[in-house]
Structure 1
Amino acid sequence: MAEATGLVGKVEADLEIKASAGKFHHMFAGRQGEWLKATPGKIKSCELLEGDWGKLGSVVIWNYVHNGEAAMTKKRVEAVDPENNLIKFRIVEGDVMKDYKSFVSTVQATPKLGEPGSVVNWHMEYEKISEDAGHPETILQLAVEISKDIDEYLLKEE
């Protein structure tokens, strides 16, 4: 779902996964280095520049494939809430910033009630540089695809 007024907007997606909310969150908060194994073809490398994996203020550079092309992003963790399986990233540099003044992604996994698995919510808020800037739907779709790959990876561990 997308909502935009002028240059500011947000996109959001929910997906059901089989992994527990806690395990999924832990992949985002503490095991980002394993994404290369979990997401073949999408994540090419990631490097921790500052802080500790998934901790408030930590900074990571990601090299990934977006729309069939190599891309890079530098993200800073802005919020971590382990009790609610939530983590928020702000993109501070990289290819996405060619189109956006600001771009913040929040991912939260919520346990399903009365059944195994969880629901992952991706929420992205952005401000475009201009009306001609690309739409973030493709970034949201990539996040959903990566989430599915991570779910499959976590299920193989069990």
Structure 2
Amino acid sequence: MGLSSKTIQVKIKSSCDVFLELWKTNPCQVPTLTPTTIQNCQIRDGEVGTIGSILFWNYFHDGKDRVIKTLTQDLDEAKKLVTFKALEGDLLELYKTFVTHVQVDTNGSNNLVTWTVEYEKLNPNVPDPDTLLEFYKEVTKDIETHQLRN
């Protein structure tokens, strides 16, 4: 099985920079903005907002409570990109490798959040992570709703 990738773009009305800053420097605040999808985020090692920090997440996906431990793999200011790599958790029961990139871009009056997942299935019967991309879309909309209220 080789490495595959899938992408979803979500147009938002709120600030891209504020959205990215949340994921980059304060991911532990995400659960307060998305309580139906992400319930908890705890720093396990390192310092939030630095490459190499390890976060532990509790989330609700496909009708089940799930967990994941991630490594902050990249914080690219120029590309407005944050990358998390799965180290442990439910996703690794299906995928040998799972990396999530969240990137923002302002193009004229359009603010876009792009979620890209790179993954390698453990076997050919494992589904593509389409429902996870929908999950990321829902998370984005929850954060946007909170940002527009403030």
Give 1:95-106 correspondences, 5 Å limit.
95-106=90-101
Q: In structure 2, what is the equivalent of residue 127 of structure 1? A: 120
Equivalent position of 1:3 in the other structure: none
Mapping of residues 89-100 of structure 1, within 5 Å: 89-100=84-95
Q: CA RMSD in A?
A: 1.3
Tell me how far apart the structure 1 counterparts of residues 44 and 146 of structure 2 sit (CA, whole Å). Answer: 25
TM normalised by structure 2 equals 0.94
The answer as to whether partners of 1:56 and 1:80 remain within 8 angstroms in 2 is yes
Distance (whole Å) between structure 1 residues aligned to residue 21 and residue 3 of structure 2 = 30
SS at match of 2:133: helix
Which of 135, 138, 154 matches 2:131?
138
Aligned-pair CA distance for 1:7: 4.6
CA displacement, residues 102-155 of structure 1 (integer Å, 9 cap, x when unaligned):
011111000131x2x510111111000001123211111111110111111122
Unaligned runs of 5+ in 1: 1-5
Query: In 1, Cα distance between the equivalents of 2:80 and 2:148?
Result: 18
Match of 2:78, SS state, is: helix
Whole-angstrom CA distance in 2 between matches of 1:74 and 1:33: 13
TM-score by length of 1: 0.89
- The secondary structure found in structure 2 opposite 1:83 is coil
Would you say 1:63 and 2:63 are equivalent positions?
A: no
Question: 1:47 is matched with which residue: 34, 42, 45?
Answer: 42
Query: More deviation in 87-96 or 38-47?
Result: 38-47
- Report the identity percentage: 29
Q: Which moved more, 1:85-94 or 1:131-140?
A: 131-140
Runs of 4+ in 1 over 4 A off after TM superposition: none
- Partner-residue secondary structure (3-state), 1:56: coil
